[in-house]
Amino acid sequence: MDFPRGETLFGHDDPMTSSLLADLEWRNSIAQTTDRGELSNYLDSGSRSLYLGIDPTAPSIHLGNLVALTVLRRFQLAGHRPIALVGGATGLVGDPSGRNAERSLNEVEIVAEWVDRIRKQLSGFLDFSAKNAAILVNNLDWTAPVSAIHFLRDIGKHFSVNQMLAKESVSARLEGGGISYTEFSYQVLQSFDFLELFRRHDCALQIGGSDQWGNIVSGVDLIRRVEGKSSYALTIPLLEKADGTKFGKTAGGAIWLDPSMTSPYAFFQFFLNSDDRDVEQLLKTFSFKKREELEELFESLRSNPGAREAHRALAREVTTLIHGESEALKVEQAAKALFGQGEIRDLDLPTLTSALQELPRTTIGKGETFPTWVDLIAATGVVDSKSAARRIVKEGGAYLNNEKISGEDFAPSSGDLLHGRFLLLRKGKRDLAAVEVEG
């Protein structure tokens, strides 16, 4: 991930202004804040530290995390110092927010491994060499040394159980199957994080998803009680797709930033195939293009949606942000090549493999006689029957490796294999399938 150098967010010399908040509002990236005027004055008065916490609930960051991370990055581009906290301690406990049942607790060793993996991902997303260099922290560093007695005496005494019960993340669980003391204590631990970062790094702003509002303002209250100082909260709306489903989820599960969990090709395709109704908001959320460029893409989306210019710009930029420019170029070329807009044989094996993994497929054994195209396309399930496949051939809509075939009895040969392993089948303009030779 390449961080822009020598740029400000708004193209002028004084990025630390209320323009940042106005820009976030234009992007629909603010759900709630503590006193808006005070927050604006705080940000206007110099380079300020802020933090975002991410718990290691999986081996990788996912797209839901990326929504808030992108806001954190915008703060850095505007001249402020971002602190990315990986919850080595809170990840052992479990956040009840947005859940209707207890989270399964992971082993200490597994959480520690996930912390390391996520820290590496974050180290490529923020700038650690600028004047306002980012900071990476693990809350286990200050939580582990504190005894239970001291934690209860020094921190727990500042929390009202009545107020904790009123928090939405807790009250929602109480109406259902209940909540354990472990998860009930989560907001105390998160508040302790805010206090420690306030003390260690003069950090007086915490950002997070809108489901974190109760936890964040508990930290604001703790800082006021313990230090007698003001601090601030800003939350970001949880992104939903136009159909009401959760952003970043597919039928196959979450979209991960780790390429071994979600391939760069699948990542690119997720954005490329976004619903037209979602693209404008996705560009506002993830793009670092200037507003004028985005407005041009929005106009293109409205006037000529079939060109998919905005979709491609979105997929290209976010894939570059996460996987780098070279990888983004390769997967974009693969996407074109699969539909006959490029040479399929020019794709390297890893890129081709990841692209074909997303397609309906069938396999044949090494050394077996190749079935006909009709047999193969029917085996992939792209057509309902062999008779339907024959009709496609007769109508001129049958392709092997993007080359039209003309006979119902046509069967591929070993010379047709891509990298000695794959065949690409296409029905008409858009229906693709893959054949893999095993062994």
The CA angle 123-126-130, to the nearest 5 degrees, is: 110
Question: What structural domains does the chain harbor?
Answer: 19-238 (3.40.50.620), 240-356 (1.10.240.10), 359-439 (3.10.290.10)
pLDDT value of residue 13: 39
Tokens of 202: 């003069």
What sign results for the dihedral spanned by CA atoms 44, 280, 315, 310?
negative
What sign results for the dihedral spanned by CA atoms 165, 170, 171, 173?
negative
Tokens of 282: 């996705």
pLDDT tens profile 94-147: 888 767 777 788 899 999 999 999 999 999 899 999 999 999 999 999 999 999
Q: Which helix (H) or strand (E) holds 186?
A: helix 186-201
Residue 78 CB partners (closer than 8 Å, separation 6+): 8, 9, 10, 15, 16, 19, 20
SS3 content of the chain, % helix, strand, coil (to 5): 50, 15, 35
CA-closest candidate to residue 126, choices 212, 203, 49, 38: 49
Tokens of 254: 């979450």
Question: Would you say how long the chain is, in residues?
Answer: 439
pLDDT tens profile 302-358: 999 888 999 999 999 999 999 999 999 999 999 889 888 889 999 999 999 988 988
pTM, full prediction: 0.88
pLDDT tens profile 376-401: 999 999 999 999 999 999 999 999 99
- Over its C-alpha atoms, the chain yields an Rg (Å, rounded) of 26
With pLDDT > 70 as the criterion, what percentage of the chain qualifies? 95
For residues 381 and 383, what is the distance between their CA atoms, to the nearest angstrom?
5
For 245, which DSSP code?
P
For residues 81 and 91, what is the distance between their CA atoms, to the nearest angstrom?
24
